[in-house]
Structure 1
Amino acid sequence: MRLDFEFGEVLAFVTVAQTLNFRAAADRLHLSQPALSRRVEKLEAALDMRLLERTTRKVDLTEAGRQFLNHAVVILEELELARASMVERASRAKQLVTVACVPSVANHVLPDILRLYAQTHPGVRIRIIDESAGKVLEAVMEGEADIGISFLGAQNAEVDFTPIRSEPYVLAVRRDHPLAAAAAARWDSLEAERLIAVSLNSGNRILIENVLAGLPRRPTIHYEANHVTGALGLVSAGLGVAVLPALALANNAYPALVGIPMRDPELSRTLGLVTRAGTRLSQPASALHDLILRKIGE
């Protein structure tokens, strides 16, 4: 069903009906009196009935005008409620920032950054998606996350990747392991160890597999966990050793373990901030983006 009148015409009629004075109504709506009269006349033409009785001395409502006024007031009130609801919804959306990040960042880096952020943005709500590097990239590309912190995306045209820092991989071992006092660990020495690895779905595993594939004799993977935290739990239990990003052992999170730098070859990943290409961040998201860039890069 198509309505043959416009919002402005209904508003003009209601304002005249409430004031019963064209000059007062025109002033209230910031219109000239002729423009106001044309709007009312167009509404009457669309309804095919007279809504106002006009004389040189006064304005009054017709019976049809009184009946239509009741409906028109409800319409305007409902539209105002809808507008206010949309404004409130948009305001709430601007006050929510979603960060997708790899679990090692979520566990060891992000909490301290968010503590600082809350001091300057106490009203902003934060949602964290702690997933694998591939899922972090996917969350940003699909618009589910405002900001991503990962080591994948540098070659993806759909995102902007801002490098923060290079992070080395280390061999995580128990402090009572024979290698614990070593200055470095060689990849070819892993053949003698019970190796623990993260899932093939993990971006870490992809990087590690590239090195393992080039070894003369490939070490046997005895245990596999979906996430870095699971692999560290197995190492802590004395079930083997694991090659993991150094960040996983940050802040003395696992005091029973030590990380030994990997050599021949060295392996590292570039951690960076990921945002959708061509997307402008909200002010709260932009502030958090800049804080992450500054603090992780220190």
Structure 2
Amino acid sequence: MRLDFEFGEVLAFVTVAQTLNFRAAADRLHLSQPALSRRVEKLEAALEMRLLERTTRKVELTEAGRQFLNHAVVILEELELARASMVARASRAKQLVTVACVPSVANHVLPDILRLYAQTHPGVRIRIIDESAGKVLDAVMEGEADIGISFLGAQNAEVDFIPIRSEPYVLAVRRDHPLAAAAAARWDSLEAERLIAVSLNSGNRILIENVLAGLPRRPTIHYEANHVAGALGLVSAGLGVAVLPGLALANNAYPALVGIPMRDPELSRTLGLVTRAGTRLSQPASALHDLILRKIGE
């Protein structure tokens, strides 16, 4: 059912009905008296009834006007409640920042950054999506995450990718392993090791597979885990060695393990800060974006 009158016309009528004075109502609504009169007349025409009796001396409500006023006041109050509710909802949404990042960042880098962020933005809620690089990129492009920290997206026109750190890959071994004291590990030496790898769905695995494919003799993968943490658990148990990003061993998270730089060839990934192209971040998200850029880039 279509209404043939507008919000401004209802507001004009209610203001006149409450003041019983066209000049006072016009001043309150910042309208000229003729413009105010036209709005009331259009409402009366749409309702096909007279709401106000006006003479040169006074303005009075008709019986129909008194009845409609009761409904109109309720309508305006409900609209104001709806407006206030939407404003509050928008404000709450601005106080939630979602960060999508690869697990190594979520485990070893982000907590310290969020501790600093909480000192200046104590009321902001943070949601973390710790997933593979591909899923981090998807979360940003689909608008699920405000900010992404990943090593995919540099060539994607749908996102803005700001490089913040080059991270070398290392060979994770137990401290009692014969290679633990080596200055570097060669890829062709992995043939003699029981190799532990992450899932083929992982961005890390894709980079590693590119190197393994170029070796004269490909090492055998004895164990496979979905995530870096699972692979490190297997290494800690003495089941083999794993090529992983150096960040996975940051902050002495695995005291029993050591990371040996990989050589011939060296392998690294570029971590970047990812946002959806053309998107303007909220103030809380922008502040976190700048803090991440500053701290990870140190």
Which residue of the partner structure matches residue 100 of structure 2?
100
- What are the Cα deviations for residues 122-160 of structure 1, in whole angstroms up to 9, with x where unaligned? 111111000000000000111111110000011111111
Counting only pairs closer than 5 Å after superposition, residues 1-298 of structure 1 correspond to structure 2 as 1-298=1-298
Q: Which stretch has the larger CA shift, 21-30 or 180-189?
A: 21-30
Deviation at 1:51, TM superposition (A): 0.3
Q: Distance in 2 between matches of 1:168 and 1:90?
A: 42
- What are the Cα deviations for residues 244-264 of structure 1, in whole angstroms up to 9, with x where unaligned? 000000000000000000011
Q: Distance in 1 between matches of 2:94 and 2:251?
A: 33
Deviation at 1:38, TM superposition (A): 1.3
Q: Distance in 2 between matches of 1:91 and 1:29?
A: 27
Deviation at 1:281, TM superposition (A): 1.2
Q: Distance in 2 between matches of 1:31 and 1:172?
A: 75
Structure 2 SS opposite 1:114: helix
Q: Distance in 1 between matches of 2:55 and 2:158?
A: 66
Q: Which stretch has the larger CA shift, 100-109 or 77-86?
A: 77-86
Q: Distance in 2 between matches of 1:102 and 1:139?
A: 12
Deviation at 1:92, TM superposition (A): 1.0
The root-mean-square deviation of aligned C-alpha atoms, in Å, is 0.8
Q: Distance in 2 between matches of 1:117 and 1:207?
A: 32
Structure 2 SS opposite 1:229: helix
Count the aligned residue pairs.
298
Q: Distance in 1 between matches of 2:157 and 2:54?
A: 66
Structure 2 SS opposite 1:179: coil
Structure 2 SS opposite 1:87: helix
Deviation at 1:62, TM superposition (A): 0.6
Q: Which stretch has the larger CA shift, 48-57 or 262-271?
A: 48-57
Q: Which stretch has the larger CA shift, 101-110 or 28-37?
A: 28-37
Q: Distance in 1 between matches of 2:27 and 2:265?
A: 79
Structure 2, gaps ≥5 residues long: none
Deviation at 1:3, TM superposition (A): 1.3
Q: Distance in 1 between matches of 2:162 and 2:180?
A: 35
Deviation at 1:30, TM superposition (A): 1.3
TM-score, reference length from structure 1: 0.99
Deviation at 1:103, TM superposition (A): 0.1
Deviation at 1:50, TM superposition (A): 0.4
Q: Distance in 1 between matches of 2:24 and 2:221?
A: 84
Structure 1 SS opposite 2:8: helix
Deviation at 1:287, TM superposition (A): 1.1
- What are the Cα deviations for residues 63-93 of structure 1, in whole angstroms up to 9, with x where unaligned? 1001111111111111111111111111111
Q: Distance in 2 between matches of 1:242 and 1:129?
A: 25
Q: Distance in 1 between matches of 2:204 and 2:88?
A: 42
Q: Percent identity?
A: 98
Structure 1 SS opposite 2:35: helix
Runs of 4+ in 1 over 4 A off after TM superposition: none
TM-score, reference length from structure 2: 0.99
Deviation at 1:19, TM superposition (A): 1.3
Q: Which stretch has the larger CA shift, 28-37 or 241-250?
A: 28-37
- What are the Cα deviations for residues 194-233 of structure 1, in whole angstroms up to 9, with x where unaligned? 1000000000000000000011110000000000000000
Deviation at 1:277, TM superposition (A): 1.1
Structure 2 SS opposite 1:73: helix
Q: Which stretch has the larger CA shift, 32-41 or 137-146?
A: 32-41
Deviation at 1:56, TM superposition (A): 2.0
Q: Distance in 2 between matches of 1:215 and 1:26?
A: 84
